[in-house]
């Protein structure tokens, strides 16, 4: 389904990755504290004759570094673009949260990461919920809601702080806004941490926490258009676990999982499923997701059929820690010290077209051959009919002559039989000889 267009080497291990919502921009956060922004080549090159060829695989497209800087003294733990892509946020182990321009890298504002204890708290995840709210999760399990109404980080004091899990928050996925929503932005989100899943509301706090799953929950993706038989449009949450199993949860039934798909089988549990992203509908038919596995592979899972469709390879050793699709439908995977860009493979469609044309050509040729063969068959048939007629006539003449000969022989036989004197048992008895009575 996908082919690798290029591999982008990095100067240090990748800790975070963010994709711009409307432009081909890619931001990466590294273990060295550096934050770097790349501009991917545009796929729209209608002015060139070979516009249908991949801009990366044809050797003419280049990935440019827009800017690079050491944003944090420790490592950069997480990155997130704003909803419109006008701002980029990063948080690091130096306990600072920074807001800067994605095009220039210039810092607009920064704050210290809030802490609920006497010791500083390291960040684990950032997510921009709306233009007014930024979610910041920390290693202590705290989930802070920061105000962005002024367009900048004004104060370190959060609006609210929740503790949905006993362990650090490993993933945040917003639920679709309700039909009554006037802003169009979600006010509820799903989070995973440790072995539980939780639903949190912007105003009411933590609503539901699931049962202990006895398995670490690492990543989430909400899939619309799936659900129970009586409510197909309800939606399903796909959750990756630490033992290679993808669990499925019906929206509204958050107590426990409803189904599971074994992505990486293995004795005692497979490799961890560290990240997940849904394949856009314009690329894949049905409901499919790509899962980043701890062994460096990518697994494409068909959620309707509940099976792994195919596998790709990002790295032979390092785990895949981040996945995403850019505004032009290219998949971007990150892990170790490399970022790979993938594009939908056109070979499958071309192969089917070629095979169809070849089959049609073969069919035409077979039709022509069959016409020629039919003419030959007709000629042979006419010739065979003539031969049959002549053979019949010769057979008739031969049969007439044979009948005449048979009649003459029968007459001779009859004349001969009349002189034979048979015994008392007739033709099956002993012949009678004169003088032996």
Q: Is 397 left (phi over 0), alpha (psi -120 to 50) or beta?
A: alpha
Per residue in 13-30, pLDDT tens?
999 999 999 999 999 999
pLDDT tier for residue 116 given thresholds of 50, 70 and 90: confident
Token pair, residue 259, equals 């189904």
What average pLDDT does this structure show over 293-301? 95
| Residue 382 predicted with pLDDT over 80 | no
Q: CA-to-CA distance for 219 and 127, rounded, in angstroms? A: 14
Kindly write down the DSSP assignment for every residue of 289-306, as one continuous string: EEEEETTSEEEEEETTTT
Beta-carbon count within 10 A of 3 CB: 13
| Residue 216 predicted with pLDDT over 70 | yes
Per residue in 319-362, pLDDT tens?
999 999 999 999 999 999 999 999 987 755 444 444 444 444 44
| Residue 217 predicted with pLDDT over 70 | yes
pLDDT score of 431: 52
Q: CA-to-CA distance for 300 and 147, rounded, in angstroms? A: 37
Q: CA-to-CA distance for 320 and 378, rounded, in angstroms? A: 69
pLDDT score of 336: 95
> 150 or 101: whose pLDDT is higher?
101
pLDDT score of 435: 56
Of the listed ranges 10-24, 220-234, 362-376, the one predicted with least confidence = 362-376
Per residue in 175-208, pLDDT tens?
998 877 778 888 999 999 999 999 999 989 999 9
Q: Confirm if 252 and 261 have CB atoms less than 8 A apart.
A: no
DSSP state of 347: H
SS3 content of the chain, % helix, strand, coil (to 5): 15, 40, 45
Q: CA-to-CA distance for 349 and 355, rounded, in angstroms? A: 10
pLDDT score of 226: 87
pLDDT tier for residue 228 given thresholds of 50, 70 and 90: confident
pLDDT score of 143: 95
Kindly provide the b/e burial profile for residues 278-306, where b requires at least 16 CB atoms within 10 angstroms of the residue's own CB.
bbeeeebeebbbbbbbbbbbbbbbbbeee
pLDDT score of 178: 81
Signed CA dihedral, 251, 254, 259, 262: sign only: positive
pLDDT score of 293: 96
| Residue 381 predicted with pLDDT over 70 | no
pLDDT tier for residue 432 given thresholds of 50, 70 and 90: low
> 363 or 239: whose pLDDT is higher?
239
Tell me how many degrees the CA angle 314-319-90 measures, rounded to the nearest 5: 100
**Average pLDDT in the chain:** 81
């Amino acid at each position: 389904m996908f082919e690798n267009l290029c591999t982008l080497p990095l100067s240090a291990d990748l800790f975070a990755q963010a994709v711009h919502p409307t432009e081909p921009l890619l931001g990466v956060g590294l273990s060295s504290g550096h934050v770097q922004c790349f501009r991917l080549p545009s796929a729209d090159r209608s002015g060139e004759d070979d516009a249908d060829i991949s801009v990366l695989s044809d050797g003419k497209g280049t990935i440019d570094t827009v800017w690079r800087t050491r944003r944090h003294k420790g490592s950069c733990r997480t990155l997130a673009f704003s909803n419109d892509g006008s701002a980029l946020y990063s948080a690091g182990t130096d306990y600072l949260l920074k807001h800067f321009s994605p095009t220039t890298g210039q810092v607009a504002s920064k704050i210290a990461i809030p802490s609920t204890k006497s010791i500083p708290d390291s960040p684990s995840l950032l997510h921009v919920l709306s233009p007014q709210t930024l979610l910041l999760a920390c290693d202590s399990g705290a989930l802070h809601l920061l105000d962005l109404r002024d367009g900048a980080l004004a104060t370190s004091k959060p609006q609210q702080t929740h503790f949905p899990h006993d362990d650090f928050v490993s993933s945040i996925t917003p639920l679709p806004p309700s039909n009554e929503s006037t802003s169009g932005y979600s006010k509820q989100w799903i989070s995973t941490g440790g072995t539980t899943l939780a639903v949190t509301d912007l105003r009411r706090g933590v609503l539901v926490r699931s049962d202990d799953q006895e398995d670490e929950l690492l990543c989430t993706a909400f899939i619309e258009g799936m659900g129970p038989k009586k409510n197909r449009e309800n939606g399903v949450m796909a959750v990756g676990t630490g033992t290679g199993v993808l669990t499925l949860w019906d929206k509204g039934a958050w107590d426990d999982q409803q189904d599971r798909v074994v992505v990486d089988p293995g004795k005692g549990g497979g490799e961890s499923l560290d990240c997940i992203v849904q394949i856009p509908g314009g690329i894949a038919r049905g409901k499919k997701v790509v899962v980043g596995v701890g062994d460096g592979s990518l697994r494409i899972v068909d959620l309707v059929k509940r099976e792994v469709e195919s596998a790709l390879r990002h790295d032979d050793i390092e785990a895949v820690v981040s996945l995403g699709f850019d505004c032009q439908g290219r998949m971007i995977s990150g892990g170790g010290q490399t970022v790979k860009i993938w594009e939908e493979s056109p070979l499958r469609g071309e192969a089917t077209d070629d095979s169809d044309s070849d089959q049609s050509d073969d069919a035409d040729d077979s039709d022509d051959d069959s016409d020629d063969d039919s003419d030959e068959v007709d000629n042979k048939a006419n010739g065979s009919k003539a031969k049959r007629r002549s053979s019949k006539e010769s057979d008739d003449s031969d049969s007439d002559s044979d009948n005449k000969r048979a009649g003459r022989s029968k007459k001779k036989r009859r004349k001969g039989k009349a002189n034979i004197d048979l015994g008392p048992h007739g033709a099956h008895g002993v012949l009678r000889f004169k003088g032996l009575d």
